[in-house]
Amino acid sequence: MSDLETLEQSLLSDIASAADEQAIEAVRVAALGKKGSVSEMLKTLGAMSPEERQTKGPVINGLKNRVTDALTARKSELRDVAINARLIAEKVDVTLPVRQSPAERGRIHPISQVIDEIAAIFGDLGFAIAEGPDVETDHYNFTALNFPEGHPAREMHDTFFFPPDANGERKLLRTHTSPVQIRTMETQKPPIRIVIPGKTYRQDSDATHSPMFHQVEGLVIDKTANIANMKWVLEEFCKAFFEVPSVKMRFRPSFFPFTEPSLEVDIQCDRSRPGEVRFGEGNDWMEILGCGMVHPNVLRHGGLDPDEYQGFAWGMGIDRIAMLKYGMPDLRAFFDADVRWLQHYGFRPLDIPTLFGGLSA
Amino acid sequence: MKFTLSWLKDHLDTDASLEQIVERLTSIGLEVESVDDKAALKPFVIAKVLTASRHPDADKLQVLTVDTGDGKPVQVVCGAPNARAGLIGAFAAPGAYVPGIDVTLSVGKIRGVESHGMMCSERELQLSDEHNGIIDLPADAPVGTSFATYAQLDDPVIEINLTPNRPDATSVHGIARDLAASGLGKLIYGAVEPVDGEGACPVKVSIEAPELCPGFALRLVRGVNNGPSPKWMQQRLLAIGLRPINALVDITNYVTFDRGRPLHVFDAKKVAGNLVVRRGRDGDKVMALDGREYVLTPEMCVIADDNGVESIAGIMGGEHSGCDENTTDVLIESALWDPITTARTGRALGIITDARYRFERGVDPEFMVPGVELATKLVLELCGGQPTKTDVTGYAGYTAKVVSLPLSEIKRLTGIEVPKAESLAILTRLGFMPKGDGDVVDVTVPSWRPDVDGKADLVEEVMRIHGVDNIAPQPLGAHDAVNGKILTTLQIRTRSARRALAVRGMMEAVTWSFIPAKHAELFGGGQDSLKLSNPIASDMSDMRPSLLPGLIAAAQRNADRGLSDVALFEVSGVYENDTAEGQRRVAAGVRRGTAKLEGSGRNWSGNSGNVGVFDAKADAIAALEACGAPIDRLQIEIGAPAWYHPGRSGVIKLGPKVVLGTFGEFHPRTLEGLDVSGPLCGFEVYVDAVPEPKAKPTKTKPKLELSAFQAVKRDFAFVVDKAVEAGTLTRAALAADKKLITAVSVFDIFEGASLGEGKKSIAIEVSIQPVEKTLTDQDFEALAARIIDNVKKQTGGVLRS
């Protein structure tokens, strides 16, 4: 065996036995470095005769190429080994839990969600949303709404009052959202189509009455709006809100000082399953709202001529329709801020009600 | 308003079934609240005791054989002392439910003897409290037939939920009129014939307060015999929940319900002198028929005699002059009382009576005199006696209202065409008198309908009788375009703030607008003008000046339930004063325990620390950002309100004047005052203080300018006095070159002895974006020098060596 063959075998054996990238680099330097064994061989070519170079040259270069290839291959092998070793070392327990996203933890209160649902529906019917203050005057809450002084209807409202001011006038907490009807008529010319969600207050407290509650009022005023239109709007609303293909509603003549004619509306439902109300089926009637044609005196108080303008209004409890739709049993829990209740009955922050995506998920 | 079916049929000739009547009542606006069809009494049949013998093993029991009408006598064990052969009574078979003992019968053995049913007492049927023996019927009672039918106890009771505008429907007659108008039978008019009397009523009436009493009719009946009223009257009164007293009192109650005409009877021998109708005087007191003493005021109307107050007008009579079984001479009063005064008096004294219920709605003035006549007739029938003439004082007569009704109004308001003839017929059947042949008719309003004032009221009458169900829904005129924005800026911001805070892991609470006075005072509120005069509870007395006390209290309630790490927010109103403008729209939140943005409590990857001022600050800024506030122009200053921790709180401002919000940890005294504990932080931002966005002619966004040159970051650390605020330093660095420097962030704060007493180091990272050319080393040196220079000028800080 020639020296070259011996060298080659020795180098290839070193390459094969190099255990890591550092060892392989040492082999490379020993063979192909400036003073490496193969490099030294290559240097001898310069001193050779052309003939000798012609025979030795390819042999030495062949050796160099084979050693280079072997080095490259072994290096690649060793990198794979190193990477694999690192990957094994880096292994973690992926079953460890991660923290829940804040957006999954947060909740929107059912009242806010239902108000957004109402806004989505009435927005589609061309209504705007109006608001007004909770602390009201007797004028806006009663007088302008055709509640005669001393009338029993006024007393049925169980009003919260503030102390009288220097002029003997006492402000009150609005007992309904209807004062905003007058405030709107005072500032906006018909046609008017508004819904008014907001807080209302009455001195009353049990499982279905709370001293603070939420109402949504609707008002349409133009030159033609009538009871037939009102029936249509309310039926469309109930279908859309309760997300059922059809509802049966019963309109009963009733009395409110600020509407004439006045009606109360019952919705047909099935309450045979405990804790659940199904609409569009069943044999029960449940009262859900009051409505009627805006009383001529109310139009006058709003600065409108009742022979020129006409319209209808309705009001219903937001908390109540929320309870009916989503099955909350007790109104008092709405205002307790118990996070277990909010977690259960609340809505995820990114579930924004729309008509195109369905009101509720 | 309660009545029975047979009572209704005294006034309404109809073949309609109970179901039809009930449904019609509701559909014409007399909402039926409940119907008791007396099904509970159906199982009881009339049965005859054939034999009675002593129970072999019990002294007080008997073994009866009872004929229940089917020819097969049954054996019944009975403990009643009056049980005997030949007795006819009410029998309940096994399977029947006996309401008085709340038991469903089965065949049982009593002391070893089988019993196949029960002979019942009145108490067991809940007819009375009588339980000394079983029901003992006359010998001609038909065995085998329904006991309830025989005893006339199967008369269904209907209760309607009457709206306050319908005084006419506080009477069975008025309800019959409505039903007849709707086509469900014929009204039986039952006109009241005057009863002749002899001589004038010896007791005179003077009305000193005519504004409270527009009429008073009085009549004396001498020589009456006031025993119990007849059974039919007692049964009707019992059926509607009234306890029979004696004939005279029962007559007044009967007429009250029959005709909506409350009456009062005085025992004439107990009345001293004449009667005076006047306002109450200070010191006036009366012992009323309910056995309670009431103190009267000048706002109330009373009837007095020489002894003092005898009756609270329109509400309740006095005990002293009331009628009892010894009454021989009776004064019958039928008067008119001012509705508002009656309502106020009743409310002030806390008395609810059938008389008040009617007078505060408005009693038919034209039935004042017929009321006395009807009562007299009944008194004579039931008690005998000799009446005087009726003495009427102060009644000026009734002037009927006339309402002009264009018939087109019905279609205009309801959307339905009702033929003219039908409209007029409906009004006529209700007692209105329409006159005229044209399209506009003059309608005279009957005396019993004080609620009808205008044409809309008449439209309602036609609509409800014609039938609301006949109105077909018609779409509201569609809009001709895609809907535009329907929310105001404030509404949009309110919604955005809610969703933004919920996305930060907070839960939306809705807390009370009224809070305890102490809580309000702790947060700058508590002024008198925002204190409720009549709070529902003493700790719900003051309109909240801030959402924070309610949220902090809510967090504590959760902590008390073992949930100590909670993050709550609310976007709602607070009240600075009692004007409309004083109601502010605020977004507020609190975090408690370790309820941080990224999560709370312990976790293998690192436990959450206690919440603090910076958690609140981040929430506040997130809320403001959602509201569209210009975040890059916000100024953070110290000087938050007193309820915050003075060293761990801040104010968010826009310019020198506009306060957008506050944030921080709370003052220990605040937490003490709220009686809460634990790590807490909170914020409050004024949604309505964020300026409106400027209206722009287009929605186009400004052109995106991307620099071709690489952005660079350079770090600086400055040693400054401890009091220097990081905000001042970063602003100074930023101001060094507004063109090149795009951002400055603080990445380290260090305090240590090496820096010297009262010093700290603030390390900042400055982001530099060349815009015109790549910066040279000289350029960077010059920029760094400007930064160092400006920081030194603004803060006195020097580069840390």
For chain B, domain boundaries:
2-38+156-187, 40-150, 205-393, 405-469, 489-689, 712-799
Tokens 């309870």, located at residue: A323
B705 annotated ligand-binding residue: no
**What is the nearest CA distance from A274 to chain B, expressed in angstroms?**
22
Please indicate, yes or no, if residue A291 is contained in any of the structural domains: yes
Query: What is the rounded average pLDDT for all residues in chain A?
Result: 91
CA distances from A253 to A147, A214, A280, B443 (A): 19, 24, 22, 21
Answer yes or no: same fold for B2-38+156-187 and B405-469.
Answer: yes
Look up residue A355 and give its DSSP letter.
S
Architecture of domain B712-799: 2-Layer Sandwich (3.30)
For residue range B611-655, what is the model confidence (pLDDT) as tens digits? Answer: 999 999 999 999 999 999 999 899 999 999 999 999 999 999 999
| B773 vs B310: CA distance, rounded Å | 105
Look up residue B320 and give its DSSP letter.
T
Question: Percentage of chain A with pLDDT > 70?
Answer: 98
Please indicate, yes or no, if residue A247 is contained in any of the structural domains: yes
Please indicate, yes or no, if residue A196 is contained in any of the structural domains: yes
Report pLDDT for B101: 87
Same domain as A311, residue A181: yes
Look up residue B139 and give its DSSP letter.
T
**In the structure, what pLDDT confidence band is assigned to residue A2 with cuts at 50, 70 and 90?**
confident
Same domain as A269, residue A138: yes
Please indicate, yes or no, if residue A257 is contained in any of the structural domains: yes
Same domain as A115, residue A84: no
Please indicate, yes or no, if residue A97 is contained in any of the structural domains: no
**In the structure, what pLDDT confidence band is assigned to residue B154 with cuts at 50, 70 and 90?**
confident
Q: Which of A59, A89, A119 is the last residue of a domain?
A: A89
For residue range A193-227, what is the model confidence (pLDDT) as tens digits? Answer: 999 999 999 988 777 789 999 999 999 999 999 99
Chain B CA closest to residue A344:
B507
Report pLDDT for B479: 67
Question: Percentage of chain B with pLDDT > 90?
Answer: 80
Considering only A213-227, A259-273, B538-552, B667-681, which range has the smallest mean pLDDT? A259-273
Tokens 């309904």, located at residue: A176
Q: Which residues of B are less than 8 Å from A179 in CB distance? A: none
Tokens, residue B335:
């008067």
Read off the amino acid at residue A195.
Answer: V
Q: Which CATH code of 3.40.50.1470, 3.40.50.720, 2.40.50.140, 2.130.10.10 fits the domain covering B40-150?
A: 2.40.50.140
Beta strand residue intervals within B627-778, DSSP E = 635-637, 644-654, 658-666, 680-686, 712-721, 741-750, 759-768
Please indicate, yes or no, if residue A155 is contained in any of the structural domains: yes
Residue A334 pLDDT exceeds 90: yes
Q: Touching check for A114 and chain B: CB below 8 Å?
A: no
Look up residue B268 and give its DSSP letter.
G
Q: Touching check for A326 and chain B: CB below 8 Å?
A: no
For residue range B248-302, what is the model confidence (pLDDT) as tens digits? Answer: 999 999 999 999 999 999 999 999 999 999 999 988 999 999 999 999 999 999 9
**Structural contact between residues B502 and A107, judged by C-beta atoms closer than 8 angstroms:** yes
Report pLDDT for A153: 64
Across the interface, whether the CB atoms of A229 and B483 are under 8 A apart is answered no
Architecture of domain B405-469: 2-Layer Sandwich (3.30)
Instruction: Give the CATH number of the domain where residue A228 resides.
Output: 3.30.930.10
Class of B489-689 in CATH? alpha beta
For residue range B169-227, what is the model confidence (pLDDT) as tens digits? Answer: 999 999 999 999 999 999 998 789 999 999 999 999 999 999 999 999 999 999 999 99
- Cα four-point dihedral sign B162, B165, B170, B171: negative
Give the homologous superfamily in CATH for domain B205-393. Phenylalanyl-trna Synthetase, Chain B, domain 3 (3.50.40.10)
CA atoms within 13 A on the CB side of A122: 24
Question: Percentage of chain A with pLDDT > 90?
Answer: 63
Tokens 């070159």, located at residue: B737
Please indicate, yes or no, if residue A95 is contained in any of the structural domains: no
Please indicate, yes or no, if residue A117 is contained in any of the structural domains: yes
| B554 vs B576: CA distance, rounded Å | 22
CA-nearest of B63, B68, B30, B20 to B46 is B68
| B400 vs B395: CA distance, rounded Å | 15
For residue range A233-254, what is the model confidence (pLDDT) as tens digits? Answer: 999 999 999 999 998 999 999 9
* Owning domain of residue A226: 107-345
* Measured CA angle at B598 (ends B595, B601), to 5 deg: 45
Same domain as A226, residue A317: yes
Interacting residues of A307 by C-beta distance below 8 A, sequence separation 6+: none
Interacting residues of B603 by C-beta distance below 8 A, sequence separation 6+: A99
Point out the residue among A131, A134, A226 whose CB comes nearest to the CB of B414.
Answer: A226
Strand partners, B207: B277
Based on the structure, what is the number of domains in chain A? 2
For residue range A15-55, what is the model confidence (pLDDT) as tens digits? Answer: 999 888 889 999 999 888 888 888 888 888 888 888 888 88
Same domain as A201, residue A166: yes
Mean pLDDT of all residues in B25-50: 90
Strand partners, A290: A264, A315
pTM: 0.87
Q: Which residues of A are less than 8 Å from B558 in CB distance? A: 337-339
Same domain as A76, residue A143: no
Q: Touching check for A225 and chain B: CB below 8 Å?
A: yes
H or E segment and range at residue B64: strand B62-67
Q: Which residues of A are less than 8 Å from B508 in CB distance? A: 106-109, 112, 342, 346
